[in-house]
A and B are shown apart, each in its own frame.
Chain A
């Protein structure tokens, strides 16, 4: 059995950030990854400027192999059924288009932690003063004895399943899939990430350029048909935006996502000596960018362990106190009052809206409302309203949705 200070499950950006903090503080850290590294990761790869800053400050400049073409993204363009388009540049400059397979591997290597790939997490036992982690390496069982464990293994986290067996039944699940098309003609600017507020297309519809091809992505409530949904979007892009694409290549991909708006989503931070972080914990920015909050929450989980060991305090207490600001920041992104009156995002929606004519503004607001109605079945409306009001009245959000 291997005896270490901390085991991190998953070789994601959140894991790299946590590992960086732990290794810097001299803690022996092992990262377990199910696949062989570098491993493929389903992701649009458009990082926010805040995430870019984190990568630069903690891991240094990005090497070219960590990026897709086009290497950068200028901002986001919203499209509406009324055919109004709103391009918005990021506040702090262009932001990288990460090739997750290589960027994650690069960050993990730069963190200095020991990586055990092809090692899948199989369960854990929290023994109060340590945690036993069971895993399988190339099929053979292996065990680790760690003081703390961090679950940074994404939305379908095995660590979350081990700690919260009922969680998967408690939240709505979505499926997000993307297909890659050779381009015949694409009037959509390759400088921007494109997002559609269109109830007819699905809950989450996007497109952007990657390595000479066009990504057509759809997100919907789990149970619907990916191929059918994708076909509708492809047809819509052709008819309404003049996007001429060749049939999709066969390297399409998709995964299950736990995104409800983070304003009302449940946050899971773990129990005892097991911490959960990144998207596994429920962090996701608006428009589905989860990398920057994964980096920051991952770093906080690492800092919390260092702090807990240094001060001899329970790690959960420290982690929950330190993570509160990230929860607040992430929740603000989904708070309609914040969006209307402040600037919680990294691009300026109100300013872009004010650039439109009065008629177009009316159309945009109408279309957004119709899009929001698509989520009616989840009964999020009242929860969002009450959470949005908590912020100005109580100065923060209730911790009741933390687990």
Chain B
């Protein structure tokens, strides 16, 4: 038998270990279902502690999958959270009986993080009240199961607004603080998780703890952007601001790299209040810029608009006309662009949300458009977050992957302002470890358009995007779409093991959100 050559000084690798696969280490990302050992005793203990638990297929079936729609799993029972005390009783009992607990807010995860493979599913949407609004200090205290959209509704009545939140209707405050959350103003105001001032957290052992940058700071650092590993957020105090309508401007590019360079130029110079890139494939790249005040808008027009290399709508239409006239074989692509433009653009200019040329209630306008034109039964949105200098390369490589896997897709890019004093929060999170000033994120969103793709196809696509992240030393943001198989490769064993040790200390039976990252 031939003995495979081994380079001097190296130990021969195990040829069938997960790391034998070139490109990326894999590990089990579809966990085995919990075997239900001791379930009945646990249920009895839980009921005697006064916690209401629902069993049965009808109750559990509602939670069988998440927004990603590719992971399927059913809990043994469901608890709908009503108070921190109830959550604490649940976690104490679960810890004692070693029953896994999976926490779910809006269920907007894409890799099955909010899907319970047996055990208890804790539905946080039962805790969805606004507790106090302080208009003078510009803070709000909320229960963590509230959707950002519902929070916005309450704040509007006081002429207030949240700082930044994901552009969809059903992500919850607690879930977002655990993974990141971006908005078109993140380049100025940071990610949603950065707006939390303090939290009420139920630890995995069932203690109710208030934490902030000054009080129980270590727990605060771990829970923020912590993928739900170190506690269940039950209440949060968030920074808020005065409500303002927006004036929007759009600039069109045919090159991703040029649009990204212009976006980064605007962010570096604080030239706009909102900025982002939304594309139709890589053919029509739209740089979106918006302002809270006329003064900021006037300053932008005076100092920065001329430096942008994008076209207006009419100019871009002419360019495209010329481009496709010379390439008649791409007529299908041109027709798709036209169709898409006609469908999507009016959504951002609906008369009921426009007054005096300004957009009112961007949460509704954007969220509605996102669900209507990008939503589907499978939310497949792998993403990459990189330092500014590697962002163009990441987007261009991701774009090539999208082209390979799907006929039509959208890219959505924004900057995320980092807060130097929050560096401990960012450890092992969506923020790339070497990002300075801003991190940049891009979501790669295939248009499913009624097609049914297999889970394997989606998974292969997501892996191809995530592999780029590993290759470029990036991270992954917004949905916590960081598969368990990637975390060690991205952050290295030393850091992951340190967090794992902390997790084991905080959660001895490893019951809380098992298999999400550890």
Measured CA separation A224–B485 after assembly (Å): 48
> Quick check: B117 and A57 within 8 Å, CB to CB?
no
Q: Which of B4-57 contact A (CB under 8 A)?
A: 4, 14-18, 20-23, 26-30, 32-33, 35, 57
Residue pair B454, A67 in contact (C-beta under 8 Å): no
Say whether A26 contacts B32, CB under 8 Å. Answer: no
> Size of chain A's interface in residues, with CB distance under 8 A?
50
Q: In chain B, what residue has the closest Cβ to A60?
A: B28
Identify which of residues 102-123 in chain B touch chain A, using a CB-to-CB cut-off of 8 Å: 117-118
User: Most chain-A Cβ atoms within 10 A of its Cβ — which of B18, B21, B65?
Assistant: B21
Check B455 against A53 for contact (C-beta < 8 Å).
no
A190 touches B15 (CB 8 A): no
Residues of B near A54 (CB, < 8 A) are 456
Query: Does residue A360 face the partner (Cβ distance < 8 Å to B)?
Result: no
How many A-B residue pairs have C-beta atoms within 8 angstroms? Tell me.
118
Which of A92-100, A114-122, A133-141 is near enough to bind chain B?
Answer: A92-100
Q: Assess A56 versus B453: contact at CB under 8 Å? Given A189-B2, A310-B64.
A: no
Residues of B within 8 A of A303 (CB): 72, 454-455
Report yes or no: A61 in contact with B73, Cβ–Cβ below 8 A.
Answer: no
Contacts of A318 in B (CB 8 A): 452
1/0 contact string of B343-385 vs chain A (CB within 8 Å): 0000000000000000000000000000000000000000000
Interface residues of B in 449-478 (CB under 8 A from A): 452-457, 459, 463
Contact of A56 among B2, B28, B75 (CB under 8 A): B28
- Closest Cβ neighbor of B4 among chain A residues: A191
Contact B456 A325 (CB under 8 A): yes
* Beta-carbon contact of A306 and B1 below 8 Å: no
Which residues of chain A have a CB within 8 Å of any CB of chain B? 20-21, 23-26, 49, 52-54, 56-62, 67, 70-72, 74, 91-96, 110, 112, 183, 189-191, 209, 212, 296, 299-300, 303, 306, 310, 318, 321-326, 329
Residue pair A300, B454 in contact (C-beta under 8 Å): yes
5 pairs, CB–CB < 8 Å, chain A vs chain B = A26-B60, A57-B27, A60-B27, A60-B28, A325-B457
Mostly, the A contact residues are helix
CA distance A153 to B331 in the complex (A): 47
Q: Judging by beta carbons under 8 Å apart, are B72 and A56 in contact?
A: no
A49-B21, A62-B16, A94-B15 known; A299 vs B28 contact (CB < 8 Å): no
Complex Cα distance, B1 from A300, in Å, reads: 39
CA distance A212 to B1 in the complex (A): 7
CB contacts (< 8 Å) of B17 on chain A: these are 61
For B17, the closest partner residue in chain A by CB is A61
Tell whether A23 pairs with B33 under 8 Å between CB atoms, given A52-B21, A190-B2, A306-B64.
yes
With both chains docked as a complex, state the minimum distance between the C-beta of A27 and any C-beta of chain B, in angstroms: 8
Residues A72 and B27 in contact, CB atoms below 8 Å apart: no
How far, in whole Å, are A323 and B453 apart by their CA atoms in the complex? Answer: 8
Asked if A325 contacts B27 (CB within 8 A), the reply is: no
A303 to B459, CA, bound (A): 14
- In the bound complex, CA of A336 to CA of B351 (Å): 54
Q: Interface code B379-416, partner A: CB below 8 Å = 1, 0 otherwise?
A: 00000000000000000000000000000000000000
Given the contacts A326-B454, A326-B456, A70 and B1 also touching, CB distance less than 8 Å: yes
Please report which residues of chain B, range 121-151, place their CB below 8 angstroms from some CB of chain A when the two chains form the complex: none
Shortest Cβ distance from A111 into chain B, in angstroms?
Answer: 8
Known: A58-B30, A94-B15, A326-B454. 7 other contacts (CB 8 A): A24-B117, A26-B64, A52-B16, A57-B30, A70-B1, A303-B455, A325-B457
